[in-house]
Structure 1
Amino acid sequence: MIYSSNQKPTQPIAPADHLRFHRAHEHLAPTFGTDRFAMRAEAFARFFGTPMFLGAQTLIVLLWIVANVSGLVHFDLYPFILLNLAFSLQAAYAAPLILLAQTRQAERDKARTEADAKHREALAILANQDSKDMLRLLRQNTDLTSATNALAARIETLTVELHRHILKMDGVGAVPPSA
Structure 2
Amino acid sequence: MPERRPRVPGPTPPSTSAAAAAAASSSRNRLDQPLAKARRWVPHTTMDPESFGAFAERFARFMGTARFLVYMTAFVILWLLWNTVAPGPVRFDPYAFIFLTLMLSLQASYAAPLILLAQNRQADRDKVQMEQDRARNERTLADTEFLTREVAALRLALREVATRDFVRSELRTLLEDLEERAEERGRRQRLVERADPPAATRGDPAGS
| Alignment TM class, shorter chain as reference | 0.5 to 0.7
Give the Å deviation of 1:34: 3.4
Change (3 A) 1:86 1:42: same
SS in 2 for 1:144: coil
| 2:155 is the alignment partner of 1:138 | yes
Match of 1:76 in 2: 93
1:62 pairs with 2:44 = no
The answer to whether residue 60 in structure 2 is matched with residue 53 in structure 1 is no
Distance 1:130 1:33, change over 3 A: farther
Please give the residue correspondences for 1:7-46 in structure 2 after superposition, counting only pairs within 5 Å: 33-35=49-51, 37-46=52-61
Q: How well do the aligned residues superpose, as a CA RMSD in angstroms?
A: 2.3
Classify 1:38/1:100 alpha carbon distance in 2 versus 1 (closer, same or farther; 3 Å).
Answer: closer
Query: 2:59 and 2:143 mapped to 1: Cα distance?
Result: 44
Task: Give unmatched runs, 5+ long, in structure 1.
Answer: 1-31, 153-179
Question: CA–CA distance in 2 between the matches of 1:43 and 1:66?
Answer: 31
Deviation at 1:45, TM superposition (A): 2.1
| Alpha-carbon displacement from aligned partner over 1:79-117 (angstroms, at most 9, x marks no partner) | 111110110110111000001111121121122112211
C-alpha distance in 2, partners of 1:136/1:78?
Answer: 87
Q: Residue 142 of structure 1: SS of its match in structure 2?
A: coil
In the alignment, is the contact (CA less than 8 A) between 2:83 and 2:93 conserved in 1?
A: yes
- Tell me the CA shift for residue 41 of structure 1: 3.0
| SS of structure 1 residue aligned to 2:162 | helix
Q: Distance in 2 between matches of 1:40 and 1:115?
A: 26
1:87 is aligned to 104
TM superposition outliers: structure 1 runs of 4+ over 4 Å = none
Distance 2:49 2:142 in 1: 36
Which amino acid is 1:65 matched to?
L
CA distance in 2, matches of 1:125, 1:59: 59
Q: Tell me the distance in 2 between the aligned counterparts of 1:143 and 1:88.
A: 83
Give the TM-score, by structure 1 length: 0.59
Between Structure 1 and Structure 2, how many residues are aligned?
Answer: 117
SS at match of 1:145: coil
Cα distance in 1, alignment partners of residues 125 and 53 from structure 2: 16
- Secondary structure in structure 2 of the residue aligned to 1:75: coil
CA distance in 1, matches of 2:55, 2:125: 19
The superposition leaves residues 2-26 of structure 1 with CA deviations (integer Å, 9 ceiling, x where unpaired) of xxxxxxxxxxxxxxxxxxxxxxxxx
* 1:64 partner letter: W
The C-alpha deviation readout for 1:50-99, integer Å capped at 9, x for no partner, is 11111100110011111111125401111111110110110111000001
Asked which structure has the greater CA Rg, the reply is 2
For structure 2, the residue ranges without an aligned partner over 5 or more in a row are: 1-47, 171-208
Percent identity over the alignment? 41
